[in-house]
Chains A and B, each alone.
Chain A
Amino acid sequence: MEYKVEAHRIMSISLGKIYNSRVQRGGIKLHKNLLVSLVLRSARQVYLSDYYSGACLNAQSEREGNEWDITDSEREKFPPSATECDRVESTEEPQPNEQPEKEREYRENDDEVKSDQVDCTSTLQEQNQNSSLDSVAKVSSETPPESITEPKESPSDSAVAERDSTPEANGESHQPPKPHVCSNRKRSAEESESGDSPQKRTKVASSNAKEDEEAEEMDTSNVSNLITIFGSSFSGLLSKESAKPEAEAEDSGQICCDQMLKNLNPWSTAIVAF
């Protein structure tokens, strides 16, 4: 779903803004940070709404059997009106050899998605083409349970945190699609940076916000810096149970981050863990 892509992109951009506000001249602007955190929260709700709505259909989808034996070309032609809930998910995972094909699809679909970015606010209501992206996303989302033992599988860290919080945690749950699924990253780079994707996206989004939205390959050194920065500040904030407003202006910005953080708990868990 494009709106999931957009939701994730907006989350990354928002995180980047909050991060940048710390180094801004004049101190943290409470109003702007509050608005950014509201956007972040909305985007996250949208992003995760599919997770919960899909989870309740899981039992139903199992009964309906395996409709997963469709070819890639058919996926591409999947009718735009199909919603995710209609999509049948199967616990029989697609074979790994389909993954390279999925990669190709990611990139194709990505270009189309990027051309629609200007209309991202309308993607909430309307459903553009590229529902094949949805099917691809579905496919990829099914892979983590199978590859859970593979430490290199990138979203597994963040997915683990999400999965643990839901009752269906036994490999048959409907996972949220990997965060990086719909971005234009090479697979190998993704797999080597397991658990990094949210932070990487933040960095890339904030630095590339004004360029074309093509996500480049991972820059591992920058990424690790970013993780360090996020890790030190966010985990530090997480450890504070309540905000002490001695330095209120600064804390207000931090508290906004705190607010956001509580919503992003699974991610920050991943950060801290990493």
Chain B
Amino acid sequence: MHKNALLCSVAADIISTVEFNSTGELLATGDKGGRVVVFQREQESKNQPHRRGEYNVYSTFQSHEPEFDYLKSLEIEEKINKIRWLPQQNAAYFLLSTNDKTVKLWKISERDKRPEGYNLKDEDGRIRDPTTITALRVPVLRPMDLMVEATPRRVFCNAHTYHINSISVNSDYETFMSTDDLRINLWNLEITNRSFNIVDIKPVNMEELTEVITAAEFHPHQCNTFVYSSSKGSIRLCDMRASALCDNHSKFFEEPEDPSNRSFFSEIISSISDVKFSHSGRYLMTRDYLTVKVWDLNMESKPLETYQVHDYLRSKLCSLYENDCIFDKFECVWNGSDSVIMTGSYNNFFRMFDRNTKRDVTLEASRENSKPRAILKPRKVCVGGKRRKDEISVDSLDFSKKILHTAWHPSENIIAVAATNNLYIFQDKVN
């Protein structure tokens, strides 16, 4: 598939999350500095058909600030770990953004009219001297320049001892869950002073800790079902109808380890960094360090499909452990029809796998090949032996350029790729 580069924006800070809303009209990014930037897609206009579908900055706001926990003498990072959009119910847009400890519900609304003609205050807002008021008038709404404002509507805090790694909005649109290393809490969007704990894997004796929760997500259609992944490479599906505390899973997905691949780092590379339901709700996708796996919810014993993202790194695990790259948490996404999956890699490469044709492609998000309307060229990593002209050898890969966060438009072939502090948006070429 041909990918056009449409827009390349530079954030002031490292982008830490990217998410389209449910219609794809808006794209939100969160960064390490606690800021959220929302892009909106240009409406297609007959005047400028070539500018169809570009994303421009719609709103920017500071979602989280650095905090200090005085009780534990710990600094709480303002980095936005996840953003999840709520489905649109009126003219305003709502999203949930979270850092390590606090989830916030933000309302993003437009203001394009302004009331004028108040009786008690003048246009600047200063209070008028009552003695000078001689007549009564009704304020009228007059058009003004479009202003987009973001206001925090709810703050869900003080419910997590450990670092929040996921949030997920339920399909009932009333509740959402927040997940940290050991616990999952269920919230009502309207109520901030109470949350229910639905999963708790903290052992009585912390010295017996062997695994942590790494990600969790609600089923896209069944409001009682959710999954959570663990650092041991397993996924548990839970049904909230079964009991209030879902420590006992309904389904347990795990692939037995291949003993021939055993190394010091087997446990690290089997830790799941992301889990995503397909749009259909029939499949699950998980990302561990070297692979992406697609699971059928009806088959727990092994994944349906396994895709190697960058298996050439298997022999480099020791170096990657030393420079901490082995702890990188890559995300994975489905396309709208669940036929293609995408995930990131190093050297600003990202990979797409077509589940039907079994073909895969490696693309690069870089300034050189992302001039507007340039077509992305497939890249290839040379594993050993003779290197062809435009291949890149494993040892030349830049491990500081990693693509951890990507997003796919819910219905069209538009993707957003975050490369450190650059956001790239690519679109399929339409003739």
**One of B72, B206, B263, B321 near A13 (C-beta < 8 A):** B321
Question: Measured between alpha carbons, how far is A258 from B206 in the docked complex, in Å?
Answer: 10
Q: Is B316 in the interface zone, CB < 8 Å from A?
A: yes
Known: A39-B321, A124-B263. A26 touches B75 (CB 8 A): yes
Question: Measured between alpha carbons, how far is A118 from B71 in the docked complex, in Å?
Answer: 43
Q: Is A15 in the interface zone, CB < 8 Å from B?
A: no
Contact B206 A25 (CB under 8 A): no
Question: Measured between alpha carbons, how far is A192 from B271 in the docked complex, in Å?
Answer: 42
Contact A247 B77 (CB under 8 A): no
**One of B73, B181, B206, B323 near A209 (C-beta < 8 A):** B323
Known: A38-B268, A255-B206. A31 touches B315 (CB 8 A): no
Question: Measured between alpha carbons, how far is A120 from B319 in the docked complex, in Å?
Answer: 9
B160: nearest residue on chain A (CB-CB)? A249
Closest CB-CB distance, A35 to chain B, in whole Å?
A: 5
Chain B residue numbers with a CB within 8 Å of A48 are: none
Contact B209 A256 (CB under 8 A): yes
Q: Is A42 in the interface zone, CB < 8 Å from B?
A: yes
Contact B321 A250 (CB under 8 A): no
Chain B residue numbers with a CB within 8 Å of A77 are: none
Per-residue A-contact encoding for B224-266, CB less than 8 Å = 1, 0 else: 0000000100000000000000000000000000001011110
Known: A10-B264, A38-B268, A118-B316. A30 touches B212 (CB 8 A): yes
Interface size, A (range): 35 or more
Contact B231 A26 (CB under 8 A): no
Contact B264 A25 (CB under 8 A): no
Known: A27-B72, A30-B162, A35-B271. A121 touches B322 (CB 8 A): no
Question: What is the size, in residues, of chain B's interface with A at 8 Å between Cβ atoms?
Answer: 44
Q: Is A29 in the interface zone, CB < 8 Å from B?
A: yes
Known: A10-B318, A13-B321. A30 touches B263 (CB 8 A): no
Secondary structure call for the A interface: helix
Chain B stretch 344-381: residues in CB contact (< 8 A) with chain A: none
Q: Is A34 in the interface zone, CB < 8 Å from B?
A: yes
Chain B stretch 37-73: residues in CB contact (< 8 A) with chain A: 69, 71-73
Chain A residue numbers with a CB within 8 Å of B262 are: 124
Contact A10 B321 (CB under 8 A): yes
**One of B165, B205, B210, B265 near A121 (C-beta < 8 A):** B265
Q: Is B163 in the interface zone, CB < 8 Å from A?
A: yes
Q: Is B112 in the interface zone, CB < 8 Å from A?
A: no
Contact B318 A117 (CB under 8 A): yes
Q: Is A43 in the interface zone, CB < 8 Å from B?
A: yes
**One of B161, B231, B265 near A34 (C-beta < 8 A):** B231
Question: Measured between alpha carbons, how far is A234 from B303 in the docked complex, in Å?
Answer: 42
Q: Is A104 in the interface zone, CB < 8 Å from B?
A: no
Chain A residue numbers with a CB within 8 Å of B429 are: none
B208: nearest residue on chain A (CB-CB)? A259
Closest CB-CB distance, A138 to chain B, in whole Å?
A: 23
Q: Is B153 in the interface zone, CB < 8 Å from A?
A: no
Q: Is A169 in the interface zone, CB < 8 Å from B?
A: no
Question: Measured between alpha carbons, how far is A35 from B272 in the docked complex, in Å?
Answer: 12
A11: nearest residue on chain B (CB-CB)? B264
B271: nearest residue on chain A (CB-CB)? A35
Chain B stretch 252-296: residues in CB contact (< 8 A) with chain A: 260, 262-265, 267-268, 271
Question: Measured between alpha carbons, how far is A25 from B77 in the docked complex, in Å?
Answer: 7
Chain B stretch 175-202: residues in CB contact (< 8 A) with chain A: 181-182
Chain A residue numbers with a CB within 8 Å of B19 are: none
Chain B CB within 10 Å, residue with most, of A17, A43, A249:
A249
**One of A39, A259, A262 near B209 (C-beta < 8 A):** A259
Question: Measured between alpha carbons, how far is A243 from B209 in the docked complex, in Å?
Answer: 12
Chain B residue numbers with a CB within 8 Å of A252 are: 162, 181, 206, 209
The 5 residue pairs across chains A and B that have the minimum distance between CB atoms: A121-B263, A120-B318, A26-B77, A255-B206, A27-B74
29 A-B pairs in the complex with CB atoms less than 8 angstroms apart:
A10-B264, A26-B77, A27-B72, A27-B76, A30-B162, A30-B181, A30-B212, A31-B271, A34-B209, A117-B319, A118-B318, A121-B265, A121-B315, A121-B318, A124-B263, A124-B264, A209-B322, A243-B207, A248-B161, A249-B161, A250-B72, A251-B206, A252-B162, A252-B181, A252-B206, A255-B206, A256-B209, A259-B207, A259-B209
